[in-house]
Structures are given as structure tokens and as C-alpha cells.
């Protein structure tokens, strides 16, 4: 049964599992999930106008503070995975949540995760988001609902 919360999450990233992402267990190696989440996060930022592929240095200004991944089912070579994303900015901390499904296998839930990030100065120190970024996130928050319970009861 689909979580009614999922209906409100509009951004979805697709990832086709590659042979080089498998390991000798015959499944996707767990180390790749953070890479898939990064793809989804970058795709989301690009869709929101936060990231300009012509000015890639903008993506370099965010550090990863913390990551969490929970694995429900294995993923396999050739799987076309779908990753839904939600994001919020609180103080200096930018938080992303992820839900990864496999549509071809009865929309099975493969994994969920959360990553948090902060702006970095060139000296690699955490710094407060600029007013421009804060304004941008306010507009994003107006367009996108953050669902506190999205990853609950899984």
C-alpha cells in the first residue's frame, strides 16, 4: 500500500543499476547507496535552480555532516530504481531524506536514508548560509512540503 505521504513528494530521480555496482553477493554493494542519494540530491538541487551545471563549483560549497541508510531489500543489476527526495534548511543544517523504490518489483521499498549538510567556506569551515541562499530556500519551502513523518513506521 502506498504511503499517502508519498503523494506530496514530486521529485524523483531514476538510477539504472550498473554491473560495476554489484558485489560478489550478486547484489548492489551497500557503499553505492550514498552515491545514488547524491545523484538524487544533485538532481533535486538542479531542478530547484540551486545548482548550475555551468558553475559546478557551487556544489563544492556543501559538506556532508552525517549520513544514515536503512536497507529493506537488496537491489540487483539492471534494476531501474526510483529515488524520491525531500529537503529542509534549519539554521546552518540542510537535511535531505530519501526513499528508494523498485517500480518493476511491485514498487518494493529498497532503502531509505537521511543526509545532512552545511555550507563551507573556502577554508572548509562551516558557515551560515548567505541571505541569498536563505531566501532561495524560503521559496523552495513554499513549493515543497517537508513531511516530518515521511520515514516513520517503515
Residues of the shown chain interacting with a second copy in the complex, contacts defined by CB under 8 A:
18-20, 22-27, 29-32, 34-35, 38-39, 42, 53-54, 56-57, 59-60, 63-71, 74, 76-79, 120, 124
Least separation in angstroms between residue 90's CB and a second copy is: 17
Instruction: Give the residue with the Cβ less far from a second copy, 68 or 134.
Output: 68
Q: How is 12-68 classified by DSSP, letter by letter?
A: EEEEEPPGGGB-TTSSB-GGGHHHHHHHHHHHHHHHTTS--TTSGGGGGGEEEEEEE
- Shortest distance in whole angstroms from residue 40 CB to a second copy: 11
Q: How far is the CB of 79 from a second copy (least distance, A)?
A: 8
Q: In the complex, what is the shortest distance from the CB of residue 7 to a second copy, in angstroms, rounded to a whole number? A: 27
- Rg (Cα) of the chain, in Å, rounded? 16
User: Is 3 or 32 the residue whose CB approaches a second copy more closely?
Assistant: 32
CB under 8 Å to 44, separation ≥6 — which residues? 11, 13, 85, 87, 96
Residue whose CB is less far from a second copy, 123 or 142 = 123
Name the 3-class secondary structure at 134: helix
Amino acid at each position: 500500500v502506498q504511503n499517502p505521504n508519498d503523494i506530496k513528494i514530486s521529485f524523483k530521480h531514476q538510477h539504472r543499476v550498473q554491473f560495476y555496482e554489484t558485489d560478489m553477493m550478486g547484489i548492489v554493494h551497500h557503499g553505492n547507496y550514498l552515491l545514488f542519494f547524491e545523484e538524487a540530491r544533485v538532481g533535486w538541487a538542479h531542478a530547484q535552480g540551486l545548482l548550475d551545471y555551468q558553475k559546478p563549483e557551487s556544489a563544492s560549497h556543501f559538506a556532508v555532516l552525517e549520513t544514515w541508510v536503512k536497507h529493506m531489500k537488496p537491489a540487483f543489476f539492471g534494476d531501474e530504481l526510483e529515488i524520491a527526495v525531500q529537503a529542509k534548511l534549519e539554521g546552518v543544517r540542510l537535511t535531505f531524506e530519501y526513499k528508494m523504490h523498485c517500480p518493476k518489483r511491485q514498487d518494493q521499498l529498497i532503502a531509505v536514508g537521511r543526509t545532512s549538510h552545511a555550507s563551507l567556506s573556502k577554508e572548509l569551515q562551516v558557515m551560515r548560509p548567505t541571505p541569498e541562499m536563505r531566501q532561495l530556500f524560503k521559496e523552495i519551502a513554499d513549493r515543497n512540503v517537508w513531511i516530518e513523518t515521511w520515514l516513520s513506521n517503515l
